[in-house]
Amino acid sequence: MKTSTTLSRPQLPTADDLQITDITITPIAFSDPPLLNAVGVHEPLVHRVVIEVHTANGLLGLGECAGGSSRLANLAVGAAAIKGVSVFDTSRMEILIHEALAAELSVFERAAVFGAFEVAALDIQGHATGRSVSELLGGTVRDDVPFSAYLFYKWAEHPALDGRPAITDEWGAAMDPEGIVRQARKMIAEYGFKSIKLKGGVFPPAQEIEAIQALRTEFPDLPLRLDPNTAWTVETSRWVAEQTDGLLEYLEDPTPGLEGMGQVAERAAMPLATNMCVVAFDHIKRSVELNAVQVILGDHHYWGGLRHTRELGTLCQTFGIGLSMHSNSHLGISLAAMVHVAAATPALTYACDTHYPWNGHNDVIMPGVLNFVDGSVRVPGGPGLGVELDRAKLAELHQQYLDADMSARDDTGYMQRFVPEFTADLPRW
Ligand SMILES: [Mg+2]
């Protein structure tokens, strides 16, 4: 006797179900230690934005990006432009956002605004299909994404200011090679990082070379990087490259501009890396012509989201350029996005940067998903990004933003409160 079988298909959401109905943009502020760089010092609070995209069928996707009043205005314009679009139509979302934003905005800002919404759209795509974001990006080529220890020269505390008492932190001062090595020991003991980056451009280059030499002595097997954020002339950069030959896996943004980087690269034995002179697809052709950089630090916040970041990896492979990952102060939504795209990008050749050891204690996501083991983060299983908002924490950090009355990040202005003669004119040496 024949029997007939009825195959029941799962009910999949339609394009109408997945239309964007509402977007919530929440500016937040979270605490940050006094980390030094070439243009000043980090302020006590970082300005950041959490994005929640809602669909007609009640799904929620998360995004996170840098803040500031102009960014908030641009995000509002972008959000209005993509209402009614399906979260699977990210190419259409990109066109609509680019059309809606003011014509004079940089390619960089347009990419940043789109990228924030693209991450949230991919998060929802994952929830709609039961898949992780890394699966949507092509699947994982690594289960654990390696990060580097991101060391900073830093003050012992934010000094007392305008009636506010000094703000201490668990890290203490790092103003010389001994302080940097002490910081590295603590960070590596807690997170297990297998490579080290030092943010330079703070002290004369000879002193920063001493810090690199001290790190090499303390950690003989760990790859080292130095990033002075264009604090040096071409001549100084060539000298530093000579002095650090054999010590660095790459030298990051020693001098400004593609032409200058090309002149340094002619003499430097190690690869030169950048997140400053190649920050958009437009820059790659000229960089290749000059052989100005040998490693690009991708960043989905800069390059227009996760899919474009993966595409950047393909271009890097095409031209024989290494791929690493840049970081700004960030929380867990961004970290999850960084991990998913890194996991799905075969071209990634270096451990990624992260500020999470400096800022992760402020997080707006529920704990337990993003843990560093031996310097790496296991790719969240999803669905989507695999992270969930901690709404009490989000409300607390939003109130902190309201109370702080911040408009834009100003490392230089904050430094000048304590060192009035400080200028951000680069190159300095
Ligand atoms: Mg950099």
DSSP states of 351-408:
PBP--HHHHGGG-SB-TTSS-EETTEEEPP--SBT---B-HHHHHHHHHHHHHHT--S
pLDDT tier for residue 382 given thresholds of 50, 70 and 90: confident
Task: Please identify, among 102, 134, 166, the residue that sits at the C-terminal boundary of a domain.
Answer: 134
Does residue 73 fall inside a structural domain?
Answer: yes
Residues 250 and 379 in one domain: yes
Residue 3 has pLDDT above 70, yes or no: no
Calculate how far, in angstroms, residue 254's C-alpha sits from the geometric centre of ligand 1: 9
Asked if residue 315 is part of any domain, the answer here is yes
Asked, for residue 428, whether it belongs to a domain, the answer is no
Is there a domain that residue 205 lies in?
A: yes
* 147 and 78 housed in the same domain: no
Residue of 132 and 382 predicted with greater confidence: 132
Distance of alpha carbon 98 from alpha carbon 77, whole angstroms: 10
Burial class (CB in 10 A: 0-12, 13-18, 19+), 195: buried
Cα-Cα-Cα-Cα dihedral sign, residues 353, 359, 361, 363? negative
Centroid of ligand 1 to alpha carbon of 130 (angstroms): 36
User: Are 169 and 278 in a shared domain?
Assistant: yes
Give the confidence band of 407 by pLDDT, cuts at 50, 70, 90: confident
b/e for 215-241, b at 16 or more Cβ within 10 A? Answer: bbebbeebbbbbbbbbbbbbebbbbbb
Would residue 139 be called left, alpha or beta, if left means φ above 0 and alpha means ψ between -120 and 50 degrees? left
- Residues composing the chain: 429
Question: Is 340 an annotated catalytic residue?
Answer: no
Q: Are residues 249 and 364 in the same domain?
A: yes
Domain match, 142 and 110 both:
no
* Cα 26 → chain centroid: 19
Tell me if 178 sits within 8 A of 172, measured CB to CB: no
Domain that includes residue 172, residue range: 138-384
- Taking residues 310-324, what's their average pLDDT? 98
Whether residues 111 and 203 share a domain: the answer is: no
**Residue 95, burial from CB neighbour count under 10 angstroms (0-12, 13-18, 19+):** middle
For the segment 165-181, the average pLDDT, to the nearest whole number, is 98
Q: What is the pLDDT of residue 5?
A: 55
Identify the burial level of 16 via C-beta atoms within 10 angstroms of its C-beta, where 0-12 means exposed, 13-18 middle and 19 or more buried. exposed
Total domains present in the chain: 2
Catalytic choice (154, 194, 300, 326) = 326
User: For residue 77, how far is its CA from the centre of ligand 1 (angstroms)?
Assistant: 29
Same domain? 88 vs 209: no
pLDDT band with cut points at 50, 70 and 90 for residue 309: very high
Looking at residue 220, which CATH number applies to its domain?
A: 3.20.20.120
Residue 267 has pLDDT above 60, yes or no: yes
Tell me: the pLDDT tens digits for 286-299?
A: 999 999 999 999 99
State yes or no: pLDDT of 10 exceeds 80.
no
List 47, 199, 330, 355, catalytic entry? 199
Kindly report the CATH number assigned to the domain that includes residue 115.
Answer: 3.30.390.10
Distance of CA 92 from the midpoint of ligand 1 (Å): 31
Question: What is the sign, positive or negative, of the torsion defined by CA atoms of 254, 30, 48, 132?
Answer: positive
pLDDT digits (tens, 9 = 90+) for 23-81: 999 999 999 999 999 999 999 999 999 999 999 999 999 999 999 999 999 999 999 99
Asked whether residue 155 falls in the same domain as residue 129, the answer is no
pLDDT category at 254 given cuts 50, 70, 90 is very high
Is the per-residue pLDDT at 2 higher than 80?
A: no
Q: What is the mean pLDDT of residues 252-267?
A: 98
pLDDT digits (tens, 9 = 90+) for 337-380: 999 999 999 999 999 999 999 999 999 999 999 999 999 999 99
83 catalytic? Reply is no
* 402 domain-assigned: no
- Is residue 102 domain-shared with residue 143, that is, in the same domain? no
**pLDDT for the residue numbered 213:** 98
- Asked if residue 283 is part of any domain, the answer here is yes
Q: How confident is the model at residue 324 (pLDDT cuts 50, 70, 90)?
A: very high
Give the Cα separation of 238 and 254 in Å (integer).
9
**pLDDT digits over 106-115, tens only?**
999 999 999 9
Confidence of residue 406 (pLDDT cuts 50, 70, 90): confident
pLDDT at 13: 87
Q: What value does the mean pLDDT take over residues 319-344?
A: 98
Q: Return the SS3 of 62.
A: strand
Give residue 274 CA to ligand 1 midpoint distance, Å: 6
Cα of 348 from ligand 1 centre, angstroms: 17
8-12, 251-255, 343-347, 376-380: range with lowest mean pLDDT: 8-12
- Give per-residue pLDDT as tens, 186-214: 999 999 999 999 999 999 999 999 999 99
Ligand 1 centroid vs 327 CA: distance in angstroms?
Answer: 8
- If you average pLDDT over every residue of the chain, what do you get? 96
| Among 81, 114, 134, residue at a domain's last position | 134
Give residue 7's pLDDT: 67
Question: Is the same domain home to 29 and 147?
Answer: no
Q: Is residue 420 part of a domain?
A: no
pTM: 0.96
For residues 40 and 90, membership in a common domain is answered with: yes
Which residues, at least 6 apart from 58, have a Cβ–Cβ distance to it below 8 Å?
none
Give the distance (Å) from ligand 1 centre to CA of residue 272. Answer: 11
Instruction: Return d(Cα 355, Cα 336) in angstroms, integer.
Output: 13
Same-domain pairing of 103 and 190:
no
The verdict on residue 14 lying in a domain is: no
